[in-house]
Amino acid sequence: MTDGWHCLHVFYRVRQDALLALSPDQRAAGREQLEKILDPQRDGAPKRLQTSVVSGHKADLGLMLLDPDPLVLDAVLHSIRTSTFGPALEPTYSFVSITEVSEYVPTVEQYAERLKQEGTDPTSPAFAAKLKAYEEREAMMRKQRLFAEFPPWPVTCFYPMNKIRHPQANWYTRPFSHRMDMMTEHGKSGMKFAGRATQVITASTGLDDWEWGVTLWGREPAFLKEIVYTMRFDEASANYAEFGPFYVSYIMSPADAIKHLQL
């Protein structure tokens, strides 16, 4: 594909009965196999592969994978399934999506029109400076949304979401200009958390049961709570958003995750 990468979130639960059925030698072999499978530097690994341990009862191990080829992502799942630990790692949830640049992100031309509407003289140095700064920022933002780099932060959160279709609150019957204004407000709320939390939104319409997947990373768990709470007061979220289950996890190397899960 020319735009964006395929994305896969997978969550596993450790089955203690299957784990106890393995001999010490089998478990040692299983640890070695799993560490190799989850090594983001190995030959044939997805372009991005992140391992985390999940807080709470919904799952134990979390994976986020990105690659231009969806079968590269799928191969990781089957490598785990057919490994020594395959019977002991039970998939509990998965989410299939694709990275995208939202239609509500202004192009450089749309941003120029917005500046004019706000009263900035298009012949002024201020207009040129603002437009140039946005052009540079837009290019960086587009690259991060399509080919996301994982930030070196310790905690991540994933949840799926929809825009509501209801006779009294149907996102898809609102004019584009109104939806654009709501998403601009939503984006400004998120930018207040720069340096504390960041996100990647992936599209799943036609690919999974929800329309989007939201992946957040934070410098600490409290920042994730704060950004989600703050942004729920925006009109786009308060009136039109429906949320699925939240998975909060702590990012670790494969070896550290294996040790933490006592495999």
Q: What is the per-residue pLDDT across 80-98, written as a single tens digit (0 to 9) for each?
A: 999 999 999 999 999 999 9
| Catalytic site includes residue 172 | no
Residue 66 included in any domain:
yes
User: What pLDDT band is residue 46 in, cutting at 50, 70 and 90?
Assistant: very high
The predicted model scores a pTM of 0.90
Using alpha carbons, select from 217, 206, 240, 224 the residue that is nearest to residue 104. Answer: 240
Using alpha carbons, select from 186, 172, 165 the residue that is nearest to residue 232. Answer: 186
Residue 151 included in any domain:
no
Residue 31 included in any domain:
yes
Residue 80 included in any domain:
yes
Number of domains in the chain: 1
Residue 139 included in any domain:
no
Domain that holds residue 55: 6-99+251-260
Q: Which member of 93, 111, 159, 247 is catalytic?
A: 159
**Confidence check: pLDDT of 147 > 50:** yes
Residue 63 included in any domain:
yes
C-alpha to C-alpha distances, 12 to 22, 50, 51, 60, 142, nearest whole angstrom:
18, 14, 11, 6, 31
**Confidence check: pLDDT of 3 > 80:** no
Residue 36 included in any domain:
yes
- CATH code at 68? 3.30.70.1030
Secondary structure class of 236 (helix, strand, coil): helix
- pLDDT at residue 1 in the model: 43
Q: What is the per-residue pLDDT across 12-40, written as a single tens digit (0 to 9) for each?
A: 999 999 999 999 999 999 999 999 999 99
Q: What is the per-residue pLDDT across 236-262, written as a single tens digit (0 to 9) for each?
A: 999 999 999 999 999 999 999 999 999
How large is the average pLDDT for residues 208-237? 96
Which residue type occupies 37? I
Residue 220 included in any domain:
no
- pLDDT at residue 2 in the model: 52
